[in-house]
Amino acid sequence: MIRTDRIVIVGAGLGALYAALELAPRPVLMISPEVLGDGASSAWAQGGVAAAMAASDSPEAHAADTVKAGAGTVDAEVAAMVTRVARDHILDLTNLGTPFDRAADGGYVMSREAAHSAARVVRVQGDQAGKQIMETLIAALRATPSAQVIEGALATRLETEGGRVAGVWITSAREPSGDVLIKAPAVLLAGGGSGGLYAHTTNPPRIRGQVIGMAARAGALMADPEFVQFHPTGFDIGEDPAPLATEALRGEGAILINRQGERFMLSVHPDAELAPRDIVARAIFAETQAGNRPMLDTRAALGAKVLTMFPSVAETCARAGIDPVADPIPVAVAAHYHMGGIAADPAGRTSLEGLWVCGEASSTGLHGANRLASNGLLEALVYARNAAADIAANTTLAEAAPVVIRFPEGGSAPDPLAVAELRQMMTAHVGVRRTGSGLSTALRTIARLEADHANDPSFLNMTATATLIAAAALSREESRGGHWRDDFPSQNPDLAHRTLITLTDAMAIRDAAAKDAP
């Protein structure tokens, strides 16, 4: 056991980095499974940050679009707060050196993405926003003496004392080892979402719901776990994770066609390719299921410009032997963003004293049932600052020596076959289209896998999050936003509210599903 006066931040993505900078000069200790900058969903974000920067736009319009996209479950006060401060965060990132795309007059170049009523997504080199913002923040962090980063370490569980979070257990992320307990005055969870629980995902390999599950296992209240956003256009080229064909391509006029050359979104929604993501995702999934091989066609809209405007897309195409100037890009639905997670108030506080959360691991009420495009990075920025301010107000400024970690021998990595079975099951039964029988099957499978690997805390974190998603999805007998039930295809007005659930609640639903097994 190690005791430190440093504030522990679990994660190394945008929210974690931003919070560490905001907390300076308070000493922090960041727990990063990878080398700083690698393996974080933030660095893979292509679209940008949504903010009303144009004179013709307003925070109020941005908030209204957020509420509309969220399909009746967005917290309107949270949406108003987040969109009101969005501009401040863009200006602060600019001052730190983020090279946002600028017009000849010095204004920000804005992209329009799905369900936005205006072009309000601030971008970097077309599809490089996440990468460039992360590089800017990492450079700033490296120059911040109060911040220490332990790379190659994975958080496995929270230590609680009398209902308060007192620290976090970590293990080596590079090789099997024993655990080390770090006791600290405050813990901020900023370790990403749960996309990697699915077999087809755009998330980095380690993002498999571990941080959400860790908090759930400690007793924290969860919110909206059933609402998972599936990105319509993951590259369908056999890579895991699936590279992302950014929505900005469709914002620039790219269209969706099938193997017959039919532009199928025209008959699905008035906004065609720029319809809300859940609608586009289900349409693409239907084409895939029908054997029609959906594809993203950039040829007429962008031509050769796609190679310079969207370098990440061009690089992926080159790796797969695709020429986007001459041929359409095969795409498939992929788990992309978790709207649900650890319930957080506007200050980033969780239901457990001593524990805060920001970023995709959280559920703040901003996204509702269906996140508005490019609101994810914005939420991470806003709640990282809010949480940092609240932590600072509730902890004493103290000097702290660097933490030295020596992992004991022992431990084991999660069974890759069990992880693979879990991911396949989630895609098959808890994916873009769901049924009561499929969700019950999923819960029984999760229970079996959990029982077989009961001594692996990292795997138990995954199964805890999977249980929460499937149990909440089984309980929500309607279709809303990113949650679609084939057996309940309509919205139920009585269910136009957020889900609040604990792991204990979800386990009771799982146990009932086991008893009802045929």
What positions carry a catalytic annotation? 277
The residue count for the chain: 518
Q: How many Cβ atoms from other residues are within 10 Å of residue 413's Cβ?
A: 15
d(CA 512, CA 440): 9
Distances (CA, A) of 447 to 206, 223, 454, 503, 516: 22, 21, 10, 13, 14
Distances (CA, A) of 399 to 117, 147, 197, 396, 420: 48, 11, 39, 10, 44
Give me the residues paired with residue 214 across strands: none
d(CA 301, CA 16): 37
Give me the residues paired with residue 111 across strands: 121
Long-range Cβ contact pairs of 98-104 (< 8 A, separation 24 or more): 98/124, 98/132, 98/133, 98/136, 99/124, 99/125, 99/132, 99/136, 100/124, 101/125, 101/126
d(CA 109, CA 107): 7
> Residue 422: which residues within 8 A CB-CB, separation 6 or more?
197, 445, 446, 449, 462, 463, 466
- One-letter amino acid of 109: V
Going by DSSP bridges, is the β-strand pair 7-10/110-111 parallel, antiparallel, or unpaired? unpaired
d(CA 293, CA 437): 28
Look at the block and give the residue holding tokens 């498939």.
Answer: 332
Q: How many Cβ atoms from other residues are within 10 Å of residue 313's Cβ?
A: 29
Look at the block and give the residue holding tokens 């496995």.
Answer: 156
d(CA 231, CA 374): 12
